[in-house]
Each structure stands twice: as C-alpha cells, then as structure tokens.
Amino acid sequence: MLEDDDVRAELDDAFERFERTQPALAGRVAEMLNEPLDETALALGYFLTIAVWLAFERAYGGDMDEVTDSEIDATVELLELDEELRRSDPRETLDSDDVIGMEQPNLLEFLHEHIDATLDVRNEEVDVDDVHAVYRLVLVELLALSYAVRPPAGYPAFKSEALA
C-alpha cells in the first residue's frame, strides 16, 4: 500500500505531466479552480480533472495532440450552443452530456458517480452551483481531449476517403 508521501509524489508528477503536455488545458483548469469555490467542489474539481486527464494519458499516450486555447474556446462554444438548441426545443430528450456519453460512456459514468456522491453525502454543506461549474469544466476537458486524440495510422480522415 502506498504511503501518503508516495501518493502525493505520484499526483504531483501527474499534474506536472498534465501541465507539460497540455499547457492550455491545464491553464484553463487552474484558472477555474483558482476562482473562489466551495472547498468540496474545489477538491472534486482537482480530483476529476486529473482523473480524466490520466484516463486519456493511459488510453492514448502519445497519440494525442496538444489542445490549444482556441480549441478550448470552440469546445466551450459548441457545448453552449448545443445546450441552447436543446433548451429551445422542448421535444428534445437528449442532453449534451447524453451525447458526450455516447462517445465516452465510462468516463461520463465515472463523473456522474462522483458528482452524485458528492451531492448526496454533503448536500447541505456543498455549494451546488460550484459543483455544477466543476462539472462543466470537466465536460469541456473531456470533449477537448476527445477531439485531441489522433486517429490510428491509415484511418481515413473523412468519410469520402473511406468510400474512395
């Protein structure tokens, strides 16, 4: 079993790799988590953002591009537009996170489990708005990292290439 110092060293190393390999994304995460947040939401934010990044690092390693600030902005805008479109059509039954869940079901389930557990255990003490802000941050991270995964060598980039 790892000692507290060993765990802290591993987490410090993971954060350093995150900052080195995804500086824009790590900067955006740090910017948001430096806002005044409820302590529980803040701890949840650090945990979920590094857990999501570690999942992508483990699964894709060197097969990921660096996410740029403009790509993060585009991801935020895409999520906001999607949510606005869904709000304007009352017949729409899917939420944005349902669509994300089609691409990343295990990670989304992991996020939901931890968000729900946080709200269930500490529901009277935690600021729900802060937890929601953390959830949105992690959704943006998850989407941005998903877009950064490079396709395997020889994989057609466009549908028309597959049909040719």
Q: Which residue carries 């295990």 as its tokens?
A: 106
Q: Residue 90 CB: number of other CB atoms within 10 A?
A: 7
**Reported confidence tier of residue 80, pLDDT bands at 50, 70, 90:** confident
Look at the alpha carbons of 116, 120, 122, 125 in this order and tell me if their dihedral is positive or negative: positive
Select the more confidently predicted residue: 113 or 156. Answer: 113
d(Cα 7, Cα 14) in Å, to the nearest integer?
10
Of 21 and 78, the structure prediction assigns the larger pLDDT to: 21
pLDDT digits (tens, 9 = 90+) for 55-78: 999 999 889 999 999 999 999 998
